[in-house]
Structure 1
Amino acid sequence: MPGKKPASGPRITAALAAVASLSLVLSGCSAATISPGDARSRPLAGARAKTGVDCREARCIALTFDAGPSRDTPRLLDILKEKKVRATFFLLGKNHVVHHPDLVRRMAREGHEVGNHTWTHKRLTDLDADGIREELSRTQDAIAELTGHRPTLMRPPQGRTDREVSDVCRELGLAQVLWSATAKDYSTTDSLLIEHRVLDAAGPDGIILLHDIYQGTVPAVPAIIDELKKRGYTFVTVPELLAPGVPEPGKVYKP
């Protein structure tokens, strides 16, 4: 419009920041996120990540499973072993880790990354610092007792995090991992639909979210793996996806 002054640089920057902030809130996360590419571009001084593939060159994607282990997890581990795929598991403590110790040990033994998904799946942004610490620490201790290693990764229930969650995660040595593709497998038992939803949303540097506690999920995994391999993807764990960067405690990682 004639006579209307163009927006100044600071005002444009503020507007873009507001849009980005709103986008994070709508996605369930109110903290700034780091992409896998950004993580790879700024490795920590002196830190080394163990990896068998360079995702700066390869077309990488990470397969992750939340809220197990469960009765379906042995079959899933068999599939991953057969397909030569290593995944990242974010485990629930109560009624899962404590009830399936052999599966937790097997995950670690077979080279999968074992992460923390809290003790009871409470939404962490509804808790105070002591409550957040309790949810995460109990699962840290339970996994460490079984595997000999404390997790370095966690996934907040519903992907909801904030500054207080990040502060406690930093204290406990946990990086936060969100996702780029999900089948919403909690809402359907249709394995073909789960497969199609994942394949439609999959992309380079992606992190796929599935749950090995729902009936339709594990049967969908072989076809998901086969198709993504045909598309030229290499399956990696989350730390491998970020290497040579190393997940930093308290930070939030999202493709």
Structure 2
Amino acid sequence: MPRFTRKAKIVAASATAAVMVTAGLAAYALYPERTAPADARADAIAAGKKLVDVQPRPGGARSALPDGPPVDCEKAKCIALTFDAGPGKDTPALLDHLQKEKVPATFFLLGKHHVVKYPAVVKRLFDEGHEVANHTWSHPRLDKLKRAEIREELKLTQDAIAKITGEKPTLMRPPQGRINDDVTSVSKELGLAQILWSATAKDYSTTDSELIKKRILKQSSRDGIILLHDIYDGTVPAVPGIVAELKKRGYTFVTVSQLIAPAKPNPGEVYKP
């Protein structure tokens, strides 16, 4: 994925835009501004904000959260592990491994056929300290919908998650990363920051766990956000290898909200490393 400076205006000539479309990157031309997690942190520190524990819940005995004080990503080599479109049948096995390794993650959950089908899994990942976020109700391209339809897609999932956990998410991830002004406006209205990514395995296109691991490790970088899906057969088996190698490389796993702390996610804002 291309990297952009903080809140940089995208001004592309038609020829460049054509290349982007051909490369499958058209989504990144749909919104003019985005904020890198490191820049959000820096701005908050400059404004005098202090590091606080922004994790969703302490988690208890089976917490996936590491012991000790909150992680300071200005000092630590942080990376955020995120999963889209679940929970699914393999999510409990994933949670077992994350708990064993004390690795927190952010889960962008789908409402229809997922949150409503696996409420106990949603409750478990919340109780174990993972960050619970919104990935719409039925996974449409939000930029193709009317404002009322966008609101319904996000609000249905907000309400379904809150019914299980007692809290509404503060983060959302738009399907395919597709965003426009209406998506941003509705997200702001519902109190949702928009979270993109910097590393993806395209695990929807392969069941090869080794390939998934290889793709993620190649793209991983400090302050990065990893995108995986816990609903595909090759993904959960790839996670132990990804976690082990990134730990060996000195990375500390954090939730998305931890990654930007002491800043807090700003509703409507787009975050991308």
TM-score greater than 0.5 by the shorter chain? yes
How far residue 193 of structure 1 moved from its aligned partner, in angstroms, is 0.3
Greater relative contact order: 1 or 2 (C-alpha under 8 angstroms, separation 6 or more)?
1
2:84 corresponds to which residue? 66
SS at match of 1:94: helix
How far residue 19 of structure 1 moved from its aligned partner, in angstroms, is 3.3
Alignment of 1:235-254 (within 5 A): 235-254=253-272
1:110 corresponds to which residue? 128
How far residue 162 of structure 1 moved from its aligned partner, in angstroms, is 1.0
Point out the structure with the larger helix share. 1
| 1:20-74 Cα shifts (integer Å, max 9, x gaps) | 9956993513221100111102238879742510001110000000000000000
Equivalents in 1 of 2:10, 2:175: separation in Å?
Answer: 25
| Pairing 1:26–2:25 present | yes
SS at match of 1:67: strand
Q: 1:123 aligns with which of 141, 145, 148?
A: 141
2:64 corresponds to which residue? none
* Aligned residue type for 1:28: A
**Distance 1:243-1:46 versus aligned 2 partners, 3 A rule:** closer
| Pairing 1:223–2:228 present | no
* Aligned residue type for 2:175: P
Which moves more between the two structures, 129-138 or 31-40?
31-40
**Distance 1:47-1:131 versus aligned 2 partners, 3 A rule:** farther
SS at match of 1:18: coil
**Distance 1:145-1:45 versus aligned 2 partners, 3 A rule:** farther
Preserved CA contact (<8 Å) 2:51 2:72: no
Preserved CA contact (<8 Å) 1:63 1:237: yes
SS at match of 2:125: helix
TM-score, normalised by the number of residues in structure 1: 0.90
| Pairing 1:136–2:154 present | yes
How far residue 195 of structure 1 moved from its aligned partner, in angstroms, is 0.4
| Pairing 1:155–2:173 present | yes
SS at match of 1:19: coil
SS at match of 2:12: helix
TM-score, normalised by the number of residues in structure 2: 0.84
State which structure, 1 or 2, has the greater radius of gyration over its C-alpha atoms: 1
**Distance 1:135-1:47 versus aligned 2 partners, 3 A rule:** farther
| Pairing 1:213–2:206 present | no
The CA RMSD measured in Å over matched residues stands at 2.0
Give structure 1 stretches of 5+ with no counterpart. 1-15
Give structure 2 stretches of 5+ with no counterpart. 1-8, 55-69
Structure 1 stretches of at least 4 aligned residues deviating more than 3 Å after TM superposition: 19-25, 44-49
* Aligned residue type for 1:26: L
Equivalents in 2 of 1:219, 1:70: separation in Å?
Answer: 14
